[in-house]
A and B are shown apart, each in its own frame.
Chain A
Amino acid sequence: MLDTIFIGLSVGSVLLLVALGLAITYGAMGVINMAHGEMVMLGAYTTVLASIHLGIGLLGAIPIAFMVTALVGYAIERLIVSRLYGRLLDTLLATWGVAILLQQAVRLSLGLAFFGITIAGLGTGLQNVRVPAYLSGVISIGGEQVSLYRAFIILVTILLTLLTWFIMYRTAIGAQVRAIMRNPDMAAACGIDVKRVNALTFAYGSGLAGVAGVMMSGFKTVFPDMGTPMVVDGFLVVVTGGVGSLMGTVLSAGLLGQINGLTASVSNDIIARAVIFAVVVTIIIWKPSGLFSYKGR
Chain B
Amino acid sequence: MPVTKNTLALATYVVLFLIILAAPLYFDVFWLNRFSKFLVYGMLGVAMALCWGYAGILNLGQGLFFGLGAYSIAMSMKLASPTSLAQGSDTPIPDFMLWNAEPGAPIDLCCITNGSFLWIPFKSQFFGIAMGVVLPTLVAFAIGSIIFRKRISGVFISIITLAVVLLVRLLVVEAQPFTNGFNGLTDLGYLTVFGHEFDPYYVSTYYLIAISLVVVLVLARILVQTRSGLILQAVRDDDRRARFLGFDVPAYQIFFFCVSAAIAGYAGMLYVLVAEFASPTFMDLAFSITMVVWAAVGGRNSLLGACIGAVLINMVEATVSETPQLIEAWKVIMGLAFVLAVLFLPRGIAGLVSRLGYMIVRKPQKMPAARADAVDAEPARAG
Contact = CB atoms under 8 A, between A and B. Distances in A.
B214 interface: no
Interface residues of A, number: 41
Contacts of B343: 80, 83-84, 94
Contacts of A288: 150, 152, 156
A100 B338 contact: yes
Contacts of B338: 93-94, 96-97, 100
B335 A232 contact: no
A264 to B, nearest CB: 13
Interface string B132-167: 000000000000001100101011101110111011
Nearest to A267: B174
A273 B170 contact: yes
Nearest to A228: B285
Contacts of A128: none
A97 B332 CA distance: 9
Interface string A73-105: 000000010011011111011101111110110
A220 B131 CA distance: 41
B379 A87 contact: yes
B174 A270 contact: yes
Interface string B339-383: 100110010000000000000000000000000000000011011
B342 A107 contact: no
B171 interface: yes
A277 B163 contact: yes
A285 B289 CA distance: 22
A274 interface: yes
Interface string A168-198: 0000000000000000000000000000000
A90 B334 contact: no
A224 to B, nearest CB: 10
A93 B293 CA distance: 8
Interface in B280-308: 285-286, 289, 292-293, 296
B329 to A, nearest CB: 7
A271 B154 CA distance: 29
A278 B325 CA distance: 40
A100 B342 contact: no
B28 interface: no
Contact of A89 (B160, B289, B339, B383): B383
A273 B329 CA distance: 34
B173 interface: yes
6 contacts: A94-B338, A94-B339, A96-B289, A97-B338, A107-B328, A281-B163
Interface of B: 58, 146-147, 150, 152, 154-156, 158-160, 162-164, 166-167, 170-171, 173-174, 285-286, 289, 292-293, 296, 325, 328-329, 331-332, 334-339, 342-343, 346, 379-380, 382-383
- What 9 pairs across the A-B complex have the smallest Cβ distances? A100-B335, A97-B338, A97-B339, A277-B167, A87-B382, A101-B335, A94-B342, A274-B170, A89-B382
Given A97-B342, A285-B146, 19 more contacts: A32-B155, A80-B339, A84-B342, A88-B154, A94-B338, A94-B342, A96-B289, A96-B338, A97-B337, A97-B338, A100-B334, A100-B335, A104-B332, A108-B328, A268-B174, A281-B160, A285-B150, A288-B150, A288-B152
